[in-house]
Amino acid sequence: MAEDILKVEHLNKFYGDWQALHDINFSVKKGEVVALLGPSGSGKSTLIRTLNGLEPYKSGTIYFHGKAIEPSHKSWLAIRQKIGMVFQSYDLFPNLTVLQNIMLAPTKVQKRNPDDVKKEALALLKRVELADHADSYPRELSGGQKQRIAIVRSLAMHPELMLFDEVTASLDPEMVRGVLEIIKRLSDEEDMTMIIVSHEMNFVEQIADRVLFLENGKILEQTPGKQFFKQPQTQRAADFLNSMDF
């Protein structure tokens, strides 16, 4: 049986007096794709951001490979080398070329050989059909191209777990397919462990091994992916699916 890469126990998150996450419990096994679904404001992005320390939490424990993560700045810096994250806003450095953006963290943070990193970066760019943009700057790229570069930048760190937070939300419809195809390829061909927040229901149905359905900061159900779309366990999830155009 595959090991748990990530495990979350009794996680609670507050913004002032308002509780954003309520007693969150789940685990993710190696090679598994877990989708976080739910209406806007349900806590999906807040939850995924807690998993690599971008959002502090009040109580609970996050385990990585069975070891509790100490919620300190130093610990999260180390964990982020193993838990990659891609945002809807790309977050590329505008003053660096595509290649420089990709090489920065592997060479500066992981202290890897620049020649080896460059070779790998160029190979990754070729895989996402952007090899001819290695010397371009972010301002010269489309939204879909920027998002593919953001994914490559995370992959260059050799993460064990990838987090995707609404990575197609800010893209034009015609750009969405290319980004989703890359994510699906990571699952199908490389058995990448992933947690995904997305409103692309057709895509989630294809890729998710398990769905966590959230509302008001609570996990209402955890269901195998195929089953969730055919026979959700709660009426609220059924209503949610009926409201989605897919």
Is the separation of the CB atoms in 231 and 238 below 8 Å? Answer: no
User: pTM of whole model > 0.75?
Assistant: yes
Tokens of 201: 């229901």
Q: Which amino acid is at 175?
A: M
Domain ranges, ordered by start, for the chain = 33-42+72-213+225-243
> Which secondary structure element, helix H or strand E, spans residue 179, and what is its range?
helix 173-190
Cα–Cα dist 219/225, whole Å: 15
Q: Output the CATH code of domain 33-42+72-213+225-243.
A: 3.40.50.300
Per-residue pLDDT of the chain (246 residues; tens, 9 = 90+): 678 999 999 999 999 999 999 999 999 999 999 999 999 999 999 999 999 999 999 999 999 999 999 989 999 999 999 999 998 777 899 999 999 999 999 999 999 999 999 999 999 999 889 999 999 999 999 988 998 999 999 999 999 999 999 888 877 777 888 888 889 888 888 889 999 999 889 899 999 999 999 999 999 999 999 999 999 999 999 999 999 876
Map residue 218 onto helix, strand or coil. strand
Cα–Cα dist 175/161, whole Å: 24
Tokens of 63: 């385990």
Map residue 97 onto helix, strand or coil. coil
Cα–Cα dist 151/127, whole Å: 11
Cα–Cα dist 128/106, whole Å: 19
